[in-house]
Amino acid sequence: MVAAACTKAPPPGATGSTVVTSATGSASSSAPNSASSGSAGPTTAPTSATGSAASATPTPARSTPAAAGPPACTTGALTIEVQRGSGAAGHQFASLVFTNASPTACSITGFPGVALLIAGAPLGRPATRSGQGIKRIDLKPGSKGTASLTNDSTCNAENSDSVQIIVPNQTEKVVRPLRFRGCTMTINPVAAA
């Protein structure tokens, strides 16, 4: 014997349509019936057998996260050296060498802070950043990164006795010996050695 169909109240927002459920539990929609709702307004789209209506909201695209790398090198994890290079007409050169002295990998991204000192006081202005692009440099234990420092030595200023260095994205200051004229300096970002 087939069980009689029963009529359920339309779901909210489904004016003018009647949902009929059979004994098997599947749902179907009948044609709009303005008499049952008392209104002759527009009807909503019929629901599917699962009871869900098609969504008009697009699903946002998922972005792929950037590849995770090692954490930033702290100042304490690095050995920092200054290697004076050969000079050229009107210029002095030095390389700042950052060696990962820790037992785990770390990374450096960007420009170091650089300022000349004489007897502990600032000499001239801090180095300005060059126009070179930056990229993350991953340093395994014992690996090195370098940043090139160029000085326009034509200003006839005093010579420094040391240089103050700040590792990119850190705040601790490290002082190393360096004899440079207190002229305009340019620093490049840290690159793989």
Tens of pLDDT, residues 112-155: 999 999 999 999 999 999 999 999 999 999 999 999 999 999 99
Task: Using the predicted structure, report yes or no on whether residue 11 has a pLDDT greater than 90.
Answer: no
Looking at residue 130, its pLDDT comes to 97
Mean pLDDT, all residues of the chain: 79
Q: Phi, psi (5° rounding) for residue 36?
A: -75, -30
Task: Using the predicted structure, report yes or no on whether residue 83 has a pLDDT greater than 70.
Answer: yes
More confident call, 89 vs 56: 89
Looking at residue 66, its pLDDT comes to 56
Looking at residue 1, its pLDDT comes to 44
Task: Using the predicted structure, report yes or no on whether residue 5 has a pLDDT greater than 90.
Answer: no
**What would the two tokens of residue 73 be?**
């090198």
Residue range 143-158, pLDDT digits in tens: 999 999 999 999 989 9
Looking at residue 110, its pLDDT comes to 98
What's the pLDDT band for 50 if we cut at 50, 70, 90?
very low
Looking at residue 20, its pLDDT comes to 43
Q: Are strands 91-100 and 27-29 parallel, antiparallel or unpaired?
A: unpaired
Q: Calculate mean pLDDT across residues 44-63.
A: 47
Domains of the chain: 1-52 (no CATH), 75-192 (2.60.40.10)
